[in-house]
Structure 1
Amino acid sequence: MNPLELHDRDHDVRTERTAVAETRGAAHFARLMARRPDQALSAVRAASPQMNDWLVNGPFAGPLAGSELTMGQRELATVAVLAALGDTEPQLAAHTVAALSQGITATELRGIPLHVSVYAGFPRALNALTVIDGVLREAGIPEPLSLHRVRPGDHGTTVAHAGITGPPVVLVHALGLDWRMWEPVIARLAVGRRVFAYDVRGHGSATEAPLPTSMNDLATDLFDVMDALGLDRAHVVGLSYGGGIVQTAATLVPARFASMTLMATTNVAFETFEGRARSVEQDGMAAQVAPSLVRWFTCDGLAVNDWGVRYARDCVLRGDPEHSAAAWRAFQTLDVEGKLTGFSAPTLVLAGERDLSTTPEVMSRIASDIPGARYAEMPGTPHMPTLEQPSLVVDALDGFLPRDPMEDELLPG
């Protein structure tokens, strides 16, 4: 082969490699940034074709295309780096949009400036917060909930609040989670209502509380939270452990209920509760992740691994073993079957069609035990409906809970 032919062959090989790199870089740019490079980088390409080519066929075809991080993790890391660097507002805005497209939530994004403030200082953190908040507003994402501390009896806890006018609604979460379990539904429920969600004793911000010994302790906490919020009566919603707390409270002081909603719960203790307490003590919290998530989510939900699954997994892992075991033993004292026959407030019993823990059969028996209770079933829904099927939860509660009629005049259409 003469030198000219060899040169031509090498040129063809280099051209082919460049074309492959361009295809890979451009394709990964579009996947990661949710925009094609010819759209996102038109100004860069006009100013410097070389810079455009290097950016697309260098980083996006190389280190940014690796599988060491998921695309969501990569965008969250990029937002944090840009926030810490400072003076990166256009890039930070672009990668905030990209992070949203990769399933990173507004809560996670708003957590970045707070984290950055510890390591890079408040000026850069505040500037980053301004940029991120602007992107979230433009995307139509509601503002974060108002958080404040209250002291129900012998401990402090956090209450999240949304809504300005209308009847009060208090949400009580499941065992092992915290008030954020309700985050996917609170803003939508708060149209014409004042919605509150708090950390139950031993969970979230309330892990410094004394251990609960019975469901009566937790029912008393619910009333103490209502007192701290100035609520004589409220529409109370409980899910799983929260449903046990709510039912117990309803047997003690039914007059404080404007209505009651029970989701994915039971009115009798299961034999498995003591076994779960012992497993926590003997095996630790990491051993609870798999059995908890399999009970809580569908296979499809686990495969998607969106915020709800990630949040639930993290809550289980960071849970306090002593409080977790105590919560299961408190749940074992649940004793409300047949004790709500005189409960007169409107009641909704909401079951998940695919709930393997508190099945539709369990939930329908609860409904039949409460005179006048309305029973409804959410199709395709597992034990943690607010985390996998929040829209179905909102639809069901919206049709049951009253709201300020003035809000209807403000709604579109």
Structure 2
Amino acid sequence: MSSTARLSTIVRTPDGRALHIYGLRRTGAGVTSTGEPTQAAAKTHAVPSGSASLRPLVVLESGLGVSGRFWGPVQRALAASTEALVLAYDRAGHGRSDPDPAPRTLQRLADDLETVVHVVPHDRLLLVGHSWGGPIVRTLAARLAARGAPPAGVVLVDPADENCDLYFARSTRASGVLQDLLYMPLALTGLLQPLGRAILEGLPSADRDAAARASSTLAAARATIAENRMFTREMRGLLSSPPDLGEAPVTIISGTSTSQFDDRMRRLLNEAHRLSAQSLPRGHVVEADRSGHMVPITEPQLVVREIRALLDA
């Protein structure tokens, strides 16, 4: 028999900020536990290879304004069916993670993600990002590739994609400004939490409640605003200089289900995903026919399947 063990710890970024990470790993059936990550382990950047005690590491990156608790169903299914240690975390300002006073550029966000990646030694790394998490994951993957240590695979789940022109439309920018104006009042009045629960409808109640709580505080609202304010600029940067992922295999899961409210956005985003995959040496698109944007909620097993395909390659 085998079971899963939970991990929960605070790690420190190079500038001393706390990041709360939580993960699952399979134990039993001859699989050796990796043990609890420590703050000291977060400083380990050189990962030895060839050791029987090492296992693959999968790190899950969430979208804008969403706690890593959002990944609950994917995290549990993946940990139960593979030997990988599966980590998620709360970005700066969410949950128990400290706020970040610095501008939340993609490079800064990738710095925090890299801290999480180096929590424990591992023999292979897979990076998974949903929505805004996609550009964050790509930024770190390109950084690692430039060092000669690319990830073993990247899975982008309905990612924000710079090839989608609608992101740069005046109406979209105006919508972002309106969101920034509303976020703090919603947090102050306590309405952000039920709104978050509504957006995450379909998650198991424990995951939904935990994610909504972690992302509805005043600190979380400020963090979301800070990231949102950088969104258009950072996406333009990707458009002018796309991250070079080298030969890393990249799977883009693209939701294809539409509603009367997002038909044009969905069509343009699907086209952008196909264009991005074609530009990558080892990129391909997998369509999520029963999903719109929230694929990890509506089709978690599809996400797990595609991650496992790269783990097994």
Deviation above 4 Å: which 4+ runs of structure 1? 287-294, 308-316, 355-358
Question: What TM-score results when the alignment is normalised by the length of structure 1?
Answer: 0.54
- Partner residue in 2 for 1:148: 9
User: What is the deviation of 1:291?
Assistant: 8.6
Q: Is the 8 A contact 1:175 1:242 kept in 2?
A: yes
1:198, 1:312 → 2: CA distance? 11
2:158, 2:152 → 1: CA distance? 20
Choose from 276, 294, 310 the match for 2:176: 276
Choose from 302, 313, 318 the match for 2:217: 318
Residues 172-183 of structure 1 aligned to structure 2 (within 5 Å): 172-183=61-72
Distance of aligned partners of 1:146 and 1:274 in 2 relative to their CA distance in 1, 3 Å threshold: farther
Q: Secondary structure at the match of 2:292?
A: coil
1:237, 1:194 → 2: CA distance? 13
Higher RCO, Cα 8 Å, sep 6+:
2
- Partner residue in 1 for 2:93: 202
Distance of aligned partners of 1:329 and 1:229 in 2 relative to their CA distance in 1, 3 Å threshold: farther
2:103, 2:120 → 1: CA distance? 22
2:181, 2:127 → 1: CA distance? 32
- Partner residue in 2 for 1:249: 140
Distance of aligned partners of 1:336 and 1:146 in 2 relative to their CA distance in 1, 3 Å threshold: same
The sequence identity of aligned pairs, in percent, is 24
Q: Is the 8 A contact 1:341 1:371 kept in 2?
A: no
* 2:284 maps to 1:395: no
Q: What is the one-letter code of the residue matched to 1:321?
A: A
**Gapped regions of structure 1 (runs ≥ 5):** 1-139, 404-413
Distance of aligned partners of 1:339 and 1:184 in 2 relative to their CA distance in 1, 3 Å threshold: same
Q: Secondary structure at the match of 1:228?
A: coil
Q: What is the one-letter code of the residue matched to 1:153?
A: P
User: What is the deviation of 1:285?
Assistant: 5.5
- Partner residue in 2 for 1:336: 238
Distance of aligned partners of 1:342 and 1:207 in 2 relative to their CA distance in 1, 3 Å threshold: closer
Superposed CA RMSD in Å reads 3.3
Q: Which has the higher helix share?
A: 1
Q: Secondary structure at the match of 1:257?
A: coil
- Partner residue in 2 for 1:351: 254
- Partner residue in 2 for 1:380: 290
Q: Deviations over 1:94-135 (max 9, x none)?
A: xxxxxxxxxxxxxxxxxxxxxxxxxxxxxxxxxxxxxxxxxx
Question: What TM-score results when the alignment is normalised by the length of structure 2?
Answer: 0.70
Distance of aligned partners of 1:362 and 1:222 in 2 relative to their CA distance in 1, 3 Å threshold: same
Q: What is the one-letter code of the residue matched to 1:383?
A: H
Distance of aligned partners of 1:189 and 1:211 in 2 relative to their CA distance in 1, 3 Å threshold: same
Q: Which has the higher strand share?
A: 2
Choose from 159, 181, 192 the match for 2:21: 159
2:70, 2:141 → 1: CA distance? 22
